[in-house]
Amino acid sequence: MRREPKRRAKPASGKSKITPAAKPAYGRVAAKPAYGRVALVGIGLIGSSMARAIGRGRLAGHVACWSRTAETRAAARRLQICDSVHDRLVDAVKGADLVVLCAPLSANAGIAKTIGPALKSGATLSDVGSVKEAVVRDVAPHLPEGVHFVPGHPVAGTEHSGPEAGFAELFEGRWCILTPPKGTNRAAVERLAKFWRAMGSKIELMDPAHHDRVLAITSHLPHLLAYTIVATVTDLEDHLTREARDKGYVIDRGEVVKFSAGGFRDFTRIAASDPVMWRDVFLNNREAVLEMLGRFSEDLTALQRAIRWGEGEKLEALFRRTREIRRGIIEAGQAGTFKATEEKKK
């Protein structure tokens, strides 16, 4: 069984505002559901993983969901991961004690505008978006008085999408960052934190702008690099193939796939992530990503120079430092899994 870390969850400025759980509650059935009715707006990878984790721990009296297309709603019905699947958005959120927006960031403003008038007084509205300032900007203006707004971001995911891709264990041992605006009802924040802990997450409180800068470097920039590398390599392959053909060689097209185990394939996994979700992340966290990209370019130029001038010691020192960082990530239980061998095809 994993332990809750000793460190207390801290907001970006000032003292811890929520109490750490004495023991992790996930994997056990809750004595009392955290919420009566939970509505999941969007039932893709994250929404369906929540539905499964809530069902497993019996963390809600009723789980309602809505999805934009009839196809995804049919999949949710088939999978039986929610108590009710609604064709109309307002029907899903009506009477809910907790509503969680699990759709792409660009859909939030429209959804909030539609559901705002239907939200119950005293309900909590949260989300799972990967950028937080934009969520506050898009959602807060549509919420009526008496609704507690506690944005959230589970730092957990895969490159897959849709309700079939979800699984109950997705959040286990992963951080969930809550970014409540100043003055948010403390009990509402505590209750949501407890709910996420019961799904296996560890909780951190942050200011939205701080969240966006931290995630720009730890998540958004690595995705941008993966998208770029995969595109550059495939363009290069086209170029090399044409060049070889012009010289009269017969070359085997498809070397990218053939030799991809040499490091490239880890990038291809990340670069397979959902195009709409990542388009929204970059458009909604523009400034922080551009800032981190600037810093990264400077470091890359320094590395380029070290290679050009044959500065082996500099390269080795950097690579030793980064290897230590990887070891720290493994020790912190945040490394995930990596298999060097292939799964056998069924």
Q: Which residues pair with 98 in a beta bridge?
A: 38, 124
Q: Is 274 in the site for ligand NAP (CB under 6 A)?
A: yes
User: Judged by CB under 6 A, which of 154, 180, 200, 208 binds ligand NAP?
Assistant: 154
User: Judged by CB under 6 A, which of 25, 38, 46, 198 binds ligand NAP?
Assistant: 46
**What does the radius of gyration of the chain's CA atoms come to, in whole angstroms?**
22
Which one of 20-28, 117-125, 156-164, 302-310 is the stretch in contact with ligand NAP (CB under 6 A)? 156-164
Q: What angle do CA 28, 168, 108 make, to 5 degrees?
A: 120
In the bound complex, what is the minimum distance in angstroms from residue 150's beta carbon to ligand NAP? 15
3-state secondary structure 225-278: HHHHHHHHHHHHHHHHHHHHHHCCCCCCCCHHHHCCCCCHHHHHHHCCCCHHHH
Number of amino acids touching ligand NAP (CB under 6 A) = 25
User: Judged by CB under 6 A, which of 8, 62, 68, 314 binds ligand NAP?
Assistant: 68
User: Judged by CB under 6 A, which of 57, 72, 96, 151 binds ligand NAP?
Assistant: 72
Pairing of strands 35-41, 60-66: parallel
User: Judged by CB under 6 A, which of 9, 25, 45, 119 binds ligand NAP?
Assistant: 45
In the bound complex, what is the minimum distance in angstroms from residue 54's beta carbon to ligand NAP? 15
Q: Is 201 in the site for ligand NAP (CB under 6 A)?
A: no
Q: Is 337 in the site for ligand NAP (CB under 6 A)?
A: no
Q: Which residues pair with 60 in a beta bridge?
A: 35
Q: Is 152 in the site for ligand NAP (CB under 6 A)?
A: no
In the bound complex, what is the minimum distance in angstroms from residue 154's beta carbon to ligand NAP? 5
Task: Render the burial of 29-45: b for 16+ CB within 10 Å, e for the rest.
Answer: ebeebbbebbbbbbbbb
Q: Is 103 in the site for ligand NAP (CB under 6 A)?
A: yes
Which lies closer to ligand NAP via its Cβ, residue 33 or residue 119? 119
Amino acid type, 49: S
Which lies closer to ligand NAP via its Cβ, residue 33 or residue 96? 96
Amino acid type, 160: H
CA separation for the pair 35, 97 (Å, rounded): 6
Query: Comparing C-alpha atoms, which of 117, 148, 151, 157 is closest to residue 134?
Result: 151
Which lies closer to ligand NAP via its Cβ, residue 27 or residue 162? 162
User: What would the two tokens of residue 322 be?
Assistant: 């980064």
Which one of 68-76, 188-196, 207-215, 298-306 is the stretch in contact with ligand NAP (CB under 6 A)? 68-76
Q: Is 199 in the site for ligand NAP (CB under 6 A)?
A: no
Q: Is 161 in the site for ligand NAP (CB under 6 A)?
A: yes
The neighbour count for residue 151, using CB atoms within 10 Å, is 28
User: Judged by CB under 6 A, which of 11, 24, 57, 157 binds ligand NAP?
Assistant: 157
The neighbour count for residue 46, using CB atoms within 10 Å, is 28
Number of H helices, E strands in the chain: 13, 9
Residues forming contacts to ligand NAP in the complex (CB under 6 A) are 42-47, 67-69, 72, 102-105, 107, 128-130, 154, 157-158, 161-162, 274, 277
